[in-house]
Amino acid sequence: MNQYINFDKMITPAIIKVIFWAGVGLSVISGLIMMISGAASPYGGGFMVFTGLMTIILGPLFTRIYCELLILLFKMNEALQSIKSNNETKRFSA
């Protein structure tokens, strides 16, 4: 509990997984809505159907890349914390 209070351990990486699945769900739902509204368009909505399909395909991919970049920042923080603790133990033991 002390690690959370002092911000030594981050809880955001667990939240990022939820953000990823929410982003995937929103991408698929919005893509389906675009495809349905394009198909129901009286003047031909081929572009909207195509855009909806691309949203379904590329939306989760871009969401994954964004979440991986966020996790990368936290992994770098963990590595720096590890280096810091190793340097402190070496300094006190020498």
Residue 49 forms part of a structural domain: yes
pLDDT score recorded for residue 94: 56
Which structural domain range is residue 59 located in?
21-80
| Mean local confidence (pLDDT), 50-72 | 95
| Mean local confidence (pLDDT), 59-80 | 92
Number of independent structural domains in the chain: 1
Please list, residue by residue across 1-39, b when 16 or more beta carbons sit within 10 angstroms of its beta carbon and e when fewer do.
eeeeeeeeebeebeebeeebeebbeebbeebeebbeebe
Q: How far apart are CA 55 and CA 28, in angstroms?
A: 7
Work out whether the CA dihedral 51, 56, 59, 65 comes out positive or negative: negative
Residue 28 forms part of a structural domain: yes
28 pLDDT above the threshold of 90 = yes
53 pLDDT above the threshold of 60 = yes
Q: How many degrees, rounded to 5, is the angle at CA 47 between CA 46 and CA 50?
A: 85
| Mean local confidence (pLDDT), 5-26 | 86
Residue 70 forms part of a structural domain: yes
pLDDT score recorded for residue 58: 97
| Mean local confidence (pLDDT), 23-52 | 93
The residue type found at 92 is F
Residue 8 forms part of a structural domain: no
Q: pTM for this structure?
A: 0.74
Task: Choose among 25, 29, 27, 49: nearest CA to 37.
Answer: 49
Residue 11 forms part of a structural domain: no
